[in-house]
Amino acid sequence: MDQYIWELENCIHLFLYHVCIMNGRWANKPKFHHLLHLPGSIRRYGPASLFETEKFESFNGVIRNASIHSNRLSPSRDIATSFNNYNIIRLLLSGAILFDHEHQRYFQASPEIRALFENNQFIQKAMGYNSHWFGCGQLKPTIHGHRGEPKAGELVPVPLLRNFPTLLITRVNAVQERECPHGIIFVLNPYGKWEIISSMPKFRDA
């Protein structure tokens, strides 16, 4: 470890030396100063992990593109306007129902425009949508809450009743992981046309 730290410190000092010769202002950047603390961090926490900047810096091209195609008088406003236009395009292609303040009415994009997005995977990926991430099931919003619309004569599957005879079983359409109450377990049931999620309180000691 000592030999490794010694070689690392020499490489860092040599790198900073050449940086100062090339451009002295760069040495004042925090990212270069952090290199001096890297040997101490390795002694405390172990070898440094790899860094992947492309995941975050790849989005800089979107901002740079919006800044270049502007009049340079108000770049912040032009960038915000470009992102607002991107959001409007996304809403139109996804078939959202919007309100027209000029004519005081609701409107929706024509089926031809929506079909352009639904049937073209290249446009979907360009808008940040991937259909393979979503499986089949009840994914649309419902006005009946997370339990869905009650259906007359809907029975609890027999295997669930057989395995949990003393528990309360109800069907839900959506579950938020962060808002799951304590004492409740959720079972994914493959019976029926759709996947049914049943909510059942756990046993409690008297």
How do the pLDDT tens digits run along the chain, 206 residues long?
A: 888 888 988 998 898 888 888 877 777 777 788 888 888 888 888 777 666 555 666 667 778 877 887 777 888 888 888 889 888 888 888 888 889 899 999 999 898 888 888 888 888 877 777 766 655 444 444 444 545 555 656 677 777 777 777 777 666 655 555 555 554 555 554 444 333 344 444 433 33
Query: What's residue 18's pLDDT?
Result: 86
* Residue among 126, 123, 117, 118 at smallest CA distance from 62: 126
Residue showing tokens 């090339």? 22
Q: Residue 163 and residue 177: Cα distance in Å, rounded?
A: 24
Query: What's residue 50's pLDDT?
Result: 64
- CA 155 vs. chain centroid, Å, equals 36
Query: What's residue 63's pLDDT?
Result: 80
Query: What's residue 148's pLDDT?
Result: 53
Q: Residue 93 and residue 113: Cα distance in Å, rounded?
A: 6
Q: Residue 111 and residue 27: Cα distance in Å, rounded?
A: 57
Query: What's residue 193's pLDDT?
Result: 35
Query: What's residue 153's pLDDT?
Result: 60
Instruction: Considering only CA atoms, give the Rg of the chain.
Output: 28
Q: DSSP character for 48?
A: P
Q: Residue 83 and residue 80: Cα distance in Å, rounded?
A: 5
Which parts of the chain fold into alpha helices (H)?
2-22, 30-36, 38-45, 54-57, 60-68, 75-93, 111-118, 121-126, 158-163
Domain ranges (residues) in the chain: 2-51, 74-132, 136-206
Tens digits of residue pLDDT in 148-194: 555 656 677 777 777 777 777 666 655 555 555 554 555 554 444 33
Q: Residue 128 and residue 52: Cα distance in Å, rounded?
A: 20
- The pTM of this model reads 0.38
Query: What's residue 53's pLDDT?
Result: 54
Query: What's residue 202's pLDDT?
Result: 40
Burial 136-170, CB ≥16 within 10 A → b, else e:
eeeeeeeeeeeebeeeeeeebbeebeeebeeeebe
Give 139-170 as a DSSP string. Answer: -S--TT-TT----TT----HHHHHH-TTS--E
